[in-house]
Chain A
Amino acid sequence: MHVTPKALREIAATARIGLADDEIESACRDLNLIIDSLEPITRYDLEGVEPTFHPIAGLNNVMREDVEKPGLTQEEALTNAPATQNGQFKIPPILGDNGGDR
Chain B
Amino acid sequence: MKSLATVLQDWEAVIGLEVHTELTTLGSKMFCGCKIEYGAPPNTHVCPVCLGMPGALPVPNRAAIESIVLAGLATGCDIEKHSMFYRKHYFYPDMAKNFQTTQGPVAFCMRGTLDLEVLGASAGERTHLQGTTPLAREEGYLTRIGITRIHMEEDAGKLVHVGGESGRISGADYSLVDYNRCGMPLIELVTEPDLRTPEEARLFLQKLRTIYLTLAISNCSMEQGSLRCDGNVSLRPRGSEKLGTKTELKNMNSFKNLHDGLAYEICRQAEVLEEGGRVRQETRHWEPASRRTISMRSKETADDYRLFPDPDLAPYHLSDEFIQRVAARLPELPDARVARYLAAYVLNAADARALAGEIELARFFDAALEAGSSKLAKPLANLLLNEVSAYLNTESVALAETRLDPQHLAELAGLVADGTISSMQGRQVLALVFARGVSPAELVEELGIRQVSDTGEIEAVAQTVLDNNADKVAEYRAGKTKLLGFFVGEAMKATGGTANPKLLNQTFQRLLS
Contacts and interface: CB of A to CB of B under 8 A. Distances in A.
The answer to A–B direct touch (Cβ < 8 A) is yes
B230 to A, nearest CB: 11
B416 to A, nearest CB: 45
Interface string B416-441: 00000000000000000000000000
B296 A101 contact: yes
A49 interface: no
Contact of B32 (A53, A71, A99): A71
B202 interface: no
B154 to A, nearest CB: 14
B33 A68 contact: yes
A72 B46 contact: yes
B48 interface: yes
Given A60-B316, A74-B42, A68 B311 contact: no
Contacts of B161: 93-94
A67 B306 CA distance: 32
Interface in A35-80: 53-54, 59-74, 77-78
Contact of A68 (B35, B91, B159, B296): B35
Interface residues of B, number: 58
A101 B306 CA distance: 18
B283 A54 contact: no
Nearest to A14: B304
Contact of B48 (A72, A73, A86, A92): A72
Nearest to A87: B42
A59 B314 contact: yes
A91 B172 contact: no
Nearest to A89: B177
Nearest to A51: B309
Nearest to B317: A60
Contacts of B169: 94-95, 100
Given A77-B51, A87-B41, A94-B169, A66 B64 contact: yes
Q: Is the interface of A mostly helix, strand, loop or mixed?
A: loop
B485 to A, nearest CB: 60
B177 A88 contact: yes
Contacts of B84: 53
A54 B314 contact: yes
Nearest to A88: B176
Contact of B93 (A60, A65, A72, A94): A94
Contacts of B59: 62-64
A86 B50 CA distance: 20
B314 A60 contact: yes
B474 interface: no
B248 to A, nearest CB: 9
B62 A65 contact: yes
B304 A66 contact: no
Nearest to A71: B47
B175 interface: yes
Nearest to B306: A14
Contacts of B313: 62
A95 B178 CA distance: 19
A90 interface: yes
B394 interface: no
Contacts of A88: 42-43, 160, 176-178
Specify which of B64, B171, B173, B177 lies most central, judged by the most chain A CB atoms within 10 Å of its CB.
B177
Contact of A102 (B43, B62, B64, B92): B92
Contacts of A93: 161, 172-175
Interface in B9-56: 26-28, 32-35, 41-48, 50-51
Contacts of A70: 33
B63 to A, nearest CB: 4
Contacts of A71: 32-35, 45-48, 50
Contacts of A73: 44
Given A61-B314, A71-B34, A101 B62 contact: no
Interface of A: 14, 16, 53-54, 59-74, 77-78, 85-95, 98-102
